[in-house]
Amino acid sequence: MNDLTDLLVYGLPALLVVGLGVVGLRSRSRRGREPQAPPTTTAEDVEHAPTTDGSAPTATVEVPTDGAVVAEPVAPAVEAPEPVAGRMVRLRERLARSGSPLGTRLLQVLSRDHLSEDDWDEIEETLLLADVGAGPTTELVDRLRERVRVLGVREPGAVREMLREQLLALVDPSLDRTLRTAPGVADDGSSHPAVVLVVGVNGTGKTTTVGKLARVLVAEGRSVVLGAADTFRAAAADQLQTWGARVGVPTVRSDKDGGDPAAVAFDAVRRATDEGADVVLVDTAGRLQNKAGLMDELGKITRILSRRAPIGEVLLVLDATTGQNGLNQARVFGEVAGVTGIVLTKLDGTAKGGIVVAVQRELGVPVKLVGLGEGADDLAPFEPEAFVDGLLQG
């Protein structure tokens, strides 16, 4: 009887505890074997994911479908470029901060009570140091001499207005600075995109300028196709593709390094025609060592492109900080490529704003666009009045 009592008192509770433990272990084991939903990656997780090939950022999102993991591409966010109107205001402010010798120094000298020959020599030296060029400098000094002699101008306000008038005449606001980017109509009535060929020596910011120009055109409501015809530098095509992707613009490029630039340009125009795009921007190689090679390459591109559509613009990109040295480049490209307009990059980074006058005189074509800085939207149509006002605020 005592044995039975001990079993009931001590044995049954122990068995109950052991049984519950076994049930718990089995339950946890079953839960551990249950399928877990795969982790998901959101667009926020990969918004700033780096790329290795210079292309536009892309990402994949893992989503559960019947227990499987499916990779889906996430398109990069398309940016909205800043409006083009008013961009030259930034240049005016930056020219003022640069302390341009065309502004402060000229006004100081011209405001003196009596202008000696030494004063006129100082004015001439100031203009030459600002890269205005010998011919335009002589013209401006002669005009200022005449105005001072006849009018006897001395008051600061009158001196400023006189100098503004003469500088504006040198920059020549009468030049047609319109970018020919409107689609055209062929003889058979079919439409074709405007073709813009961008040329220049590597290192002047040529490829970056093409990307920024695409943003200018997108901001104006134009549809654009980019042609990466600088096939000698894979980095150039990658860079251009990244610029285009940021504003939803496709880039046509070679599938191998060193491909035929003319073929890439042709394919870009063909794609733009098929898709009804407004403008094709073609980036060309600048690493050509002699005039003959340059002529052959650009001549072939021009000839091939003309089979699809006429070339509306040939824009030469020049680095404003190179000053008079950049004019040697301008001469060669002007002779070879039939340049229709100049793009001056890094104009905000130099006090030598006279390069605008010099390059226009050298090539006989207008400055149409200027680089205002390193920002994505720091490219603006050139406005002579805003430019001269910026010089005189220095």
Is residue 253 over pLDDT 60? yes
Q: DSSP states of 297-356 as a string? A: HHHHHHHHHHTTS-EEEEEEEEEGGGTTHHHHHHHHHHHHH---EEEEESGGG-S-TTHH
User: What letter would DSSP give residue 364?
Assistant: S
Residue 277 in contact with residue 267, Cβ under 8 Å? Answer: no
Is residue 37 over pLDDT 50? no
pLDDT per residue as tens digits for the range 166-191: 999 999 999 999 999 988 887 777 78
In this predicted structure, what is the pLDDT of residue 98?
Answer: 57
User: What letter would DSSP give residue 362?
Assistant: H
- Choose between 264 and 362: higher pLDDT: 264
Among 142-156, 200-214, 220-234, 362-376, the range scoring the smallest mean pLDDT is: 142-156
In this predicted structure, what is the pLDDT of residue 279?
Answer: 97
Confidence of residue 267 (pLDDT cuts 50, 70, 90): very high
> What's the angle, vertex CA 56, arms to CA 53 and CA 60, rounded to 5?
95
Q: Give percent of the chain above pLDDT 90.
A: 33
Q: What is the mean pLDDT of the chain?
A: 77
Buried b (16+ CB within 10 A) or exposed e, 240-274: bbbbbbbbbbbbbbbeeeebbbbbbbbbbbbbbbe
280 strand-pairing partners? 195, 225
- Architecture of the structural domain at 88-171: Up-down Bundle (1.20)
Mean predicted confidence (pLDDT) in 207-232: 94
Write the CA distances from 71 to 51, 53, 55, 58, 75, integer angstroms.
Answer: 18, 20, 19, 12, 13
- Amino acid residing at 19: G
In this predicted structure, what is the pLDDT of residue 17?
Answer: 43
Closest CA to 347 of 82, 171, 90, 86: 90
- Architecture of the structural domain at 184-339: 3-Layer(aba) Sandwich (3.40)
**Domain spans in the chain, listed from the N-terminal domain onward:** 88-171, 184-339
- Choose between 162 and 153: higher pLDDT: 162
Confidence of residue 262 (pLDDT cuts 50, 70, 90): very high
Is residue 29 over pLDDT 80? no
Among 46-50, 105-109, 224-228, 364-368, the range scoring the smallest mean pLDDT is: 46-50
Is residue 52 over pLDDT 90? no
- Amino acid residing at 174: S
In this predicted structure, what is the pLDDT of residue 288?
Answer: 59
Closest CA to 136 of 147, 153, 124: 124
Among 18-27, 92-101, 284-293, 301-310, the range scoring the smallest mean pLDDT is: 18-27
Confidence of residue 350 (pLDDT cuts 50, 70, 90): low
Residue 161 main-chain phi, psi, to 5 deg: -65, -40
In this predicted structure, what is the pLDDT of residue 156?
Answer: 65
In this predicted structure, what is the pLDDT of residue 12?
Answer: 45
Annotated binding site: which residue ranges? 200-207, 283-287, 345-348
Task: For the chain, give the number of residues.
Answer: 394
In this predicted structure, what is the pLDDT of residue 349?
Answer: 63
Annotated binding site for GTP: which residue ranges? 200-207, 283-287, 345-348
Write the CA distances from 218 to 27, 151, 199, 214, 224, integer angstroms.
Answer: 62, 49, 21, 6, 7
Confidence of residue 31 (pLDDT cuts 50, 70, 90): very low
Confidence of residue 49 (pLDDT cuts 50, 70, 90): very low
Among 118-122, 124-128, 186-190, 318-322, the range scoring the smallest mean pLDDT is: 186-190
